[in-house]
Chains A and B, each alone.
Chain A
Amino acid sequence: AQKITQTQPGMFVQEKEAVTLDCTYDTSDPSYGLFWYKQPSSGEMIFLIYQGSYDQQNATEGRYSLNFQKARKSANLVISASQLGDSAMYFCAMREDPGGSEKLVFGKGTKLTVNP
């Protein structure tokens, strides 16, 4: 069963506007972590923001904020004041801790295009 769902294959936004990328997750573990990564066409995965399941406040990192709604199991990424350089694939990922080890499970990604 898919554990991370990103329902938007592609999104378009005008430069300087805000955009929200959706992510829902499924886990029965009370302790988990949620990450957002950006992947430009060059291929490198760039860490953007992290939210722990016990964190009381929504995470923010510069222009990135995470709208964490635990009861709904959603962790949407909000990018404010979009820039042309924000055009990339965006992946939501969840940390799982099977047997003391650790793995990231990624959603299918959302391709964001910022228009001038």
Chain B
Amino acid sequence: DTEVTQTPKHLVMGMTNKKSLKCEQHMGHRAMYWYKQKAKKPPELMFVYSYEKLSINESVPSRFSPECPNSSLLNLHLHALQPEDSALYLCASSPYIGGGNEQFFGPGTRLTVL
């Protein structure tokens, strides 16, 4: 299994909703990442998990809450989002931090906040 899966593919939510994005990989990778990509822009790193511990938080607002319950799963909990948070949210994984390993990306979740 050499892929990263993300669910749901599309999500529409109101500003008062609570929702979660899910990312899963079964490649034995120990580093996982969340990126945010606005339309016609490059991906921007949000969070990095290494061995299930939060390694990098790129000053992301607290309405985004990451969680890594085990080495295969990465969640992004969303609460009280703003319309400007509408974007493609990409999850990625790599074998470990460092060493020039490529990051394997999932297909993304397209989020629309109304």
Whether both chains belong to one complex is answered with: yes
Stretch among A13-21, A74-82, A98-106 lining the B interface: A98-106
The reply to whether B97 and A107 contact each other, CB–CB distance below 8 Å, is no
Chain B 82-105, CB-CB to A under 8 Å as 1, else 0, gives 000000101010100110101111
Contacts of A98 in B (CB 8 A): 56
Q: Tell me the complex Cα distance, A98–B97, Å.
A: 11
Known contacts A91-B42, A103-B45, A108-B41: does B98 contact A44 (CB below 8 Å)? no
- Is A102 touching B98 in the complex (CB atoms < 8 A)? yes
| Partner among B50, B58, B97, B106 whose Cβ is within 8 Å of the Cβ of A44 | B106
| Residues of A68-116 contacting chain B, CB below 8 A | 91, 95, 97-98, 100-109
Shortest CB-to-CB span from B114 to chain A, Å, is 20
Binding site for A on B (CB under 8 A): 31, 37, 41-45, 48, 50, 55-56, 58, 88, 90, 92, 94, 97-98, 100, 102-108, 110
7 pairs across A/B with beta carbons < 8 Å? A37-B105, A44-B106, A45-B90, A45-B105, A91-B42, A102-B94, A104-B103
Partner among B50, B92, B98, B110 whose Cβ is within 8 Å of the Cβ of A43: B110
Decide: A102 and B48 in contact? CB cutoff 8 A: yes
Query: In the complex, are the beta carbons of A97 and B42 less than 8 A apart?
Result: no
Which A residue sits closest to B109, measured CB to CB?
Answer: A43
Which of B31, B56, B104 meets A47, CB within 8 Å?
B104
A101 contacts B55, CB within 8 Å? yes
